[in-house]
Structure 1
């Protein structure tokens, strides 16, 4: 896989401890940095057989706590600005699962 393609880079972490390539910071494609936040939010607010769903506010707090470590700080700041919309979208489509 090319480092710049963005496919599967949502598992990379800003601090370089992610996978599959151990990319860090701006070396992670923008698409991967964006999807990392969306993917984690979805995973946190969705019930799984092995865990209860978090509330929207709890999920936002987790993402904020990983600002600069797991997630791009600038993108977390932008996420916080539109976080209510994430909650609305999740609520709208949660029953469709």
Structure 2
């Protein structure tokens, strides 16, 4: 039992050092807090999309879902241009977004 506790402590120390020096770990922790504090589904999805901007160093992000009834939905974007691109692909029934929803 002591060996398990000691090895857990050693792993915990190593993870703690990495977490302290890693902006990604800090960013994930911030995301977890934002998701926990979100009032509902839309706010939770928006927190994930906003996280993508930081984690992936990208300029735009969005989430498109296929509902249980099979209809596409765009619940969160970081810029209206993302929703426009998604909607154009869905209206034309072609493009990478449409392909991945099949």
The TM-score bracket by the shorter chain reads: 0.3 to 0.5
What TM-score comes out, normalization by structure 2 length? 0.33
Question: Which structure shows the higher helix fraction?
Answer: 2
What TM-score comes out, normalization by structure 1 length? 0.34
Question: Which structure shows the higher strand fraction?
Answer: 2
Which has the higher Rg, Structure 1 or Structure 2? Answer: 2
